Amino acid sequence: MGLSRSRFASALLVSTQANPHHLPTSSAALPCVHCVCGVPCARVRVEQGLGGMTGAALLGRADFVAAASPWRRRLGGNPFTSMPFALSCRAAYETHAGSFEARWHKLRTLAPQLSRTAASHGGSLRFVPAEPQCCQAHCYIRGSAEQLDAARDEVLAELDIKLYNKLRACGVGPGKDECYFEITVGPNNIEIPDDVFVHAWSCFFEALQKAESS
């Protein structure tokens, strides 16, 4: 992002913790840039992947950011002071800013490998966006929540690797037969070799195949 300390704190202080325009967010990685009402802007969440308390930085034209600020009060995100959040987020940003690009490239490398692994076992693992724009993406996978969670837990018991925390929604996707979860390359797992991820997901789809055939 290249923000100075003062500019980063200022951006956090005027940012909206709600998301009135339903902006896609970067989840504390490279900022996702979009156009809202024809205005280029970026929104960076700082609690995911960075370790900040909570909140987001809304970056864009001064008049656009000023127009977004009242939505904090309208949607209930109006603390007495935002300074503790700003300080926490700034410290987290300064700690991890140097790893953003490497984490992004890590996920871009992993995404096609994991999708191919799923296909080789007759399964499906679909990334949205197909080519990750930051170090987090949504993953869509076919199957029931019960079967998917059971396969995840089997891999956890066998390899001590938890592939995802929780499913965000089920019955979604073009065929309404997918569940999705969030995948993030954070500061603690960027050093894990790609083949560890691939092997764990291979075990997952093997477990899923057994469950579906039984």
User: Which positions ≥6 away from 210 have C-beta within 8 Å?
Assistant: none
What is the spatial distance between Cα 101 and Cα 211, in angstroms, rounded to a whole number?
A: 38
pLDDT one-digit tens code per residue, 66-91 = 888 888 778 777 777 878 888 888 88
2: pLDDT confidence band, cut at 50, 70 and 90?
very low
- What pTM was estimated for this model as a whole? 0.72
More confident residue, 130 or 83: 130
Greatest CA separation for the chain: 60
Q: pLDDT tens digits, residue range 131-170?
A: 998 888 999 999 999 999 999 999 999 999 999 999 999 9
**Sheet of 136-142, strands arranged across:** 125-128, 136-142, 178-184, 169-172
User: Nearest Cα to 127, choosing from 142, 112, 109?
Assistant: 112
Burial (CB < 10 A; 0-12, 13-18, 19+), residue 157, is exposed
Residues 47, 40: contact at Cβ < 8 Å? no
For residue 42, pLDDT beyond 80: no
**CATH node for 99-213:** 3.90.1150.10
Kindly indicate the confidence band of residue 49, based on its pLDDT and cuts at 50, 70 and 90: low
pLDDT number for residue 111: 97
pLDDT tens string 92-121: 878 887 888 899 999 999 999 999 999 999
List the domain boundaries for the chain. Answer: 5-98, 99-213
